[in-house]
Structure 1
Amino acid sequence: MVRPELTDRVPGGFGSRIAQLETEYFEVESPTIGGRLGISVSLPSGYDPDWPAIPVVYALDAQWQGGLYEKMHRGLTGPEGMRAVAPFLQVNIGYVDEQIDALALRNRDLVPPGEPMPDFMRDYIGETFASEELAHQFAVLMENPHADRFLDFLEGELHPHIREHYAVGDEGAGVFGFSYGGLFALYASMHARTLTRFGAASPGILVPDSTVFDAYREFAARAGDSGVREQTVLLTLGTGEVFGPLPMYHQLAVENIRFFSLVRSRPVPGYSLTAQIVQGEDHETGCVDAYRLFARTCYPRTA
């Protein structure tokens, strides 16, 4: 995501919008999460503000993949798409805080409360960050994650603002995330009040006692025989995660298969979870293919 300089920043709330071709950008200071985020709104091909309400998708980690997702979004909703999807607005969410590394901020926002830190994470921190200060920030936020607050931000702050300014509604609202973003998508699928379509790409389930297992059991118990409103969840993994050289991703693949098996063994009426393998891709390269699968699975064009 290209971040233009804003000429009218405000200390709180939503900043002014800047139009860039088919994309609009603004920043928001969220009291719910206690931080500032950069928001890039990608308009579907042929977008008309007088359209009847269309769905909206919130795509995470725009500081890295926002430009890729925007390109795919325009192609998939455009007139040349061989496997086009139904029009949807895409809201790409990224980090603009220059004092804290985005990897650390993701821990704060995308990891469920109480999620255990994997044993290998300490070594990862030491290898990843050049300074002790950044390593400390990562560890502190990893030990005190708040995906619950980030979900409240999405549904209680950002979504009402997007709904007010664009031709979108609640119907079909979704979220797409990769790695810890995928973990957040799974968490949201069991706790969301508005979102109903979830792209969980290579979810970062890295420990056998991940909170998502008990969360699903509690979700299933709450739903009972009556079930839940219709929800579509797509879980994807890359072949490189399953069969590649890194044990960390073998563990991720195993735990995701365990989660898939749990859902299959305790189905909840209305909660539709499907899984697909991204052929020939690993954890670093599979996000674009996973995004395309999500868009085509959750927003198929029917006419």
Structure 2
Amino acid sequence: MHATTPKRALAGLALVLAAGAAPAADTPVQLPGARQFDMAAEGSGPRYRIFVSEPDAPAPAAGYPVLYVLDGNAAFPVAAFLARSVASRREVTGQAPLLVVGIGYPGDADFDVAARRRDYTVGVAEPGAAGREGGAERFLDFVERELKPRIAARHPVDTQRQALFGHSFGGLLVLHAAFTRPASFTTFVASSPSIWWNGRRVLDGLLQPPAAVPRLQLSVGALEDTPPPGRLSPERLALLAERSMVGEARALATRLQALPAWQGRFAFHEFDGENHGWVWLPALSRGLQFFLDQPAAPASGARQEDAS
């Protein structure tokens, strides 16, 4: 055996120290308890990316309540965090741990503009746009007939406690589902719905009162009809004026509050200081609370709140 010379020993020590001082390699960020998979709708339909967050806590006897969130690429991480917070405080609040399912699209974009216009809109608003818009019924069929059974086969779910959240065009879809498929979810959370779309066609669903009225939260940001001065062209301002968000939400809230069937099952929030781009965050948080709260006893008037 040959003895190590001082020079070789110092060189080896320098290599060790250099390796120890080198920065650690970056690794992808992961959400605790989260999974994702892609699936295509039957009949060579569109492909969707499905995100699932299952709590560490054991499921209640009836199964986990389930919150489905549209625009899952963007909304799922926020909803999953809120659900983990609920689970961590269940011994204090008594609220059941929650399963979250995000419905998104393949790719890294937070919002797939073309796909959400195709899937979330009610009827075709522009000539020649068939296939590019108005696919709400096909999308809801996919959720009900394909996605829900797949989630139920993988996780213990409470089929009597399921909610749907969506914002903007997603909020439009939520309203359409609440009015035309009220039994598909027990709670609907519509954030800043695009009620103006296609001549307010979504409101046609109110012509026939449902046999069983679900719970519905409607919300809007108080600043959505007040764009920042000097930043938009006159053409853009005129377009926004035709697509009122606050006025339409208020009018719908007034209409629902006057219908006996919705008494005690409807909540409206107009969030002070919030614009269209940010308001979905408090809407989601408040909607989760609305979903997990036990249904209120029928009251003489529906609840309306302004929140900051």
TM-score of the two chains, using structure 1 as the length reference = 0.73
Given that residues 54 and 167 in structure 1 are in contact (C-alpha distance below 8 angstroms), is that contact kept between their aligned partners in structure 2? yes
Q: Indicate yes or no: 2:86 matched with 1:76.
A: yes
Which of the two has higher C-alpha Rg?
A: 2
Find the counterpart in structure 2 of residue 67 from structure 1: 77
Letter in 1 for 2:270: I
Match of 2:267 among 269, 274, 295: 274
Match of 1:231 among 189, 199, 214: 214
Cα distance change on mapping 1:207 and 1:230 into 2, 3 Å: closer
CA displacement at 1:238 relative to structure 2: 1.0
Q: Indicate yes or no: 2:104 matched with 1:94.
A: yes
1:3-30 CA distance string (max 9 Å, x none):
x9xxxxxxxxxxxxxx963111111111
Equivalents in 2 of 1:165, 1:149: separation in Å? 23
1:83-112 CA distance string (max 9 Å, x none):
78432211011111699x810100111111
Equivalents in 2 of 1:113, 1:199: separation in Å? 21
Cα distance change on mapping 1:297 and 1:33 into 2, 3 Å: farther
Letter in 1 for 2:246: A
Letter in 1 for 2:170: G
Q: Indicate yes or no: 2:273 matched with 1:300.
A: no
Q: Indicate yes or no: 2:280 matched with 1:287.
A: yes
Q: Indicate yes or no: 2:44 matched with 1:54.
A: no
Equivalent position SS for 2:248 = helix
Cα distance change on mapping 1:24 and 1:301 into 2, 3 Å: farther
Given that residues 59 and 97 in structure 2 are in contact (C-alpha distance below 8 angstroms), is that contact kept between their aligned partners in structure 1? no
Given that residues 183 and 203 in structure 1 are in contact (C-alpha distance below 8 angstroms), is that contact kept between their aligned partners in structure 2? yes
CA displacement at 1:268 relative to structure 2: 2.6
Given that residues 220 and 245 in structure 2 are in contact (C-alpha distance below 8 angstroms), is that contact kept between their aligned partners in structure 1? no
Note the residue ranges of structure 1 that are not aligned, 5 or more in a row.
Answer: 5-18, 118-135
Given that residues 62 and 92 in structure 1 are in contact (C-alpha distance below 8 angstroms), is that contact kept between their aligned partners in structure 2? yes
Equivalents in 1 of 2:176, 2:87: separation in Å? 28
Note the residue ranges of structure 2 that are not aligned, 5 or more in a row.
Answer: 1-27, 229-236, 296-308
Equivalents in 2 of 1:28, 1:239: separation in Å? 38
Find the counterpart in structure 2 of residue 178 from structure 1: 167
Match of 1:150 among 134, 139, 143: 139
CA displacement at 1:191 relative to structure 2: 2.2
Cα distance change on mapping 1:271 and 1:23 into 2, 3 Å: same
Equivalent position SS for 1:92 = strand
Find the counterpart in structure 1 of residue 196 from structure 2: 206
Cα RMSD for the two superposed structures: 3.2
Equivalents in 1 of 2:44, 2:215: separation in Å? 26
Equivalent position SS for 1:48 = coil
Q: How many residues align?
A: 254
Cα distance change on mapping 1:200 and 1:32 into 2, 3 Å: farther
Cα distance change on mapping 1:98 and 1:43 into 2, 3 Å: closer
Given that residues 231 and 271 in structure 1 are in contact (C-alpha distance below 8 angstroms), is that contact kept between their aligned partners in structure 2? no
Equivalents in 2 of 1:207, 1:164: separation in Å? 36
- Greater RCO (Cα-Cα under 8 Å, separation 6 or more): 1
Match of 1:255 among 227, 248, 266: 248
TM-score of the two chains, using structure 2 as the length reference = 0.72
Q: Indicate yes or no: 2:115 matched with 1:105.
A: yes
Letter in 1 for 2:154: H
Find the counterpart in structure 2 of residue 36 from structure 1: 47
Letter in 2 for 1:240: L
